[in-house]
């Protein structure tokens, strides 16, 4: 369920909600299962300003290297992405990624350097170019303003549902849009991004300010998601801005830039929640809110520490109010703070219960706690009682199915 913010309305269309964009997704043969789409295309009718952020894993997928070079001028007009093969740790990986750009560029009549290229799937498998080359025409022909959902499906790997969102808002007297699709279910513990997320907007904004905005918002959304503590090799968030909304171009700090950042947060935060909700094998979305910390950095570290704890995640799977695991994760956080005023509440649609006060346990109604933790969305509310720092992180429970999924992921 999406969280709504005042001033921003949810609309249909995903990445095609913004003016100028179309999308498509088809099965090309990269994946053996013919029922699953594996090749996505997003295109704009005009050249766009663009920005992106990438994984900090030292082992990077070849498409990230090629995309980073292509976006060095802050411009792009299309995105091509395949699932089923990550094109990572391949001797000819960059050559294949460049060929994907050339194939998409030729089909769309744009320079290859104006294409964002991405891949996701198994690491270390040779990446065939033939399925992409042989299916680019039907992929291009199926481009549509209704194609966002098909593109979202085509980038999925172990995801159980496609993730897309779009909002509209008024900026400079013009109706503007931001839309996005994302994929991610496992191997999520990003340092700069998430698995894959493609964003589009019709807001007019210069590349420098677009890049600032996406980095700023990612730090408090996608950067605060953890499913399993593993940072992927292919993580990327990209954004294309067509400028077709007709607002005065954003090129400095001010109310217009702030509004755009807030709109971007509404999109990226909701996609982050959906990624956590769909964690591999997950049955529950976990949201950890930290308040009263000495500063925001400390709050962020504590929230991520808790949401990443395997012991705590396992307890949530079992609906066990084992609050000691929360304090344990708080305590080993790499930051300086006191815990003598810390309080912890657990909450869900079934109510709220306090389990810790001033760093010590309080009497807990275990039956009530169980009912609260049996819900599919759990909030962990931590207050250190010392400052103004706050942060929020998202994750999921750790279940038997996570091991089953990853025990034979490659085979």
Of the listed 88, 194, 201, 233, which one is catalytic?
Answer: 194
Phi, psi of 5 (to 5 degrees): -120, 140
Q: Is 160 a catalytic residue?
A: no
Burial of 126 (0-12, 13-18, 19+ CB in 10 A): exposed
* Vertex 313 angle, CA 364 and 277, to 5°: 110
Residue 40, CB-side half-sphere exposure with 13 Å CA sphere:
33
CA dihedral of residues 358, 219, 25, 74 (deg, nearest 10): 170
Q: Is the dihedral of CA 100, 106, 112, 114 positive or negative?
A: negative
Q: How many CB atoms lie within 10 A of CB 366?
A: 11
Q: How many CB atoms lie within 10 A of CB 407?
A: 9
Secondary structure of 363-402 in HEC code, one letter for each residue = CCCHHHHHHHHCCCEEEEEEECCCCCEEEEEEEECCCHHH
Decide: helix, strand or coil at residue 187.
coil
Q: Determine contact, residues 165/148, Cβ cutoff 8 Å.
A: no
Q: Which pairing describes strands 360-361 and 9-10: parallel, antiparallel, or unpaired?
A: unpaired
Task: Just list the catalytic residues.
Answer: 194
């Amino acid at each position: 369920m999406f969280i709504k913010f005042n001033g921003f309305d949810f609309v249909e269309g995903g990445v095609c909600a913004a003016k100028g964009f179309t999308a498509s997704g088809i099965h090309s043969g990269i994946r053996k299962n013919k029922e699953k789409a594996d090749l996505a295309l997003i295109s704009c009718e005009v050249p766009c300003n663009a920005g992106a952020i990438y994984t900090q894993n030292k082992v990077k997928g070849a498409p990230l290297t090629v995309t980073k070079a292509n976006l060095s001028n802050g411009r792009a007009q299309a995105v091509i992405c395949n699932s089923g093969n990550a094109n990572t740790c391949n001797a000819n990986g960059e050559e294949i990624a460049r060929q994907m750009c050339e194939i998409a560029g030729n089909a769309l009549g744009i320079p290859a350097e104006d294409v964002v290229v991405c891949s996701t799937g198994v690491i270390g498998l040779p990446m065939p170019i033939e399925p992409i080359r042989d299916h680019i025409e039907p992929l291009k022909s199926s481009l549509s303003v209704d194609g966002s959902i098909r593109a979202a499906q085509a980038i999925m790997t172990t995801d159980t549902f496609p993730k897309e969102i779009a909002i509209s808002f008024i900026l400079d007297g013009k109706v503007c849009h931001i839309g996005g699709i994302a994929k991610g279910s496992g191997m999520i513990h990003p340092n700069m991004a998430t698995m894959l997320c493609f964003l589009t907007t019709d807001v007019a904004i210069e590349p420098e300010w677009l890049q600032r905005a996406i980095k700023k918002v990612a730090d408090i959304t996608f950067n605060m998601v953890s499913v399993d503590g593993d940072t992927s090799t292919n993580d990327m968030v990209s954004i294309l801005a067509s400028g077709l909304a007709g607002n005065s171009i954003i090129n400095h700090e001010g109310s217009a830039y702030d509004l755009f950042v807030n709109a971007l947060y509404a999109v990226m935060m909701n996609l982050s929640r959906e990624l956590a909700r769909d964690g591999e094998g997950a049955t529950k979305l976990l949201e950890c809110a930290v308040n009263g910390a000495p500063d925001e950095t400390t709050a962020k570290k504590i929230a991520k520490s808790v949401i990443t704890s395997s012991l705590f995640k396992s307890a949530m799977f079992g609906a066990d109010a084992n609050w000691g695991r929360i304090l344990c994760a708080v305590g080993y956080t790499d930051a300086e703070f006191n815990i003598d005023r810390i309080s912890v509440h657990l909450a869900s649609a079934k109510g709220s219960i306090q389990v810790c006060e001033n760093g010590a346990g309080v009497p807990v109604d275990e039956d009530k706690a169980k009912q609260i933790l049996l819900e599919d969305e759990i909030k962990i509310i931590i207050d250190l009682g010392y400052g103004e720092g706050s942060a929020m992180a998202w994750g999921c429970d750790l279940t038997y199915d996570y091991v089953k999924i990853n025990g034979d992921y490659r085979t």
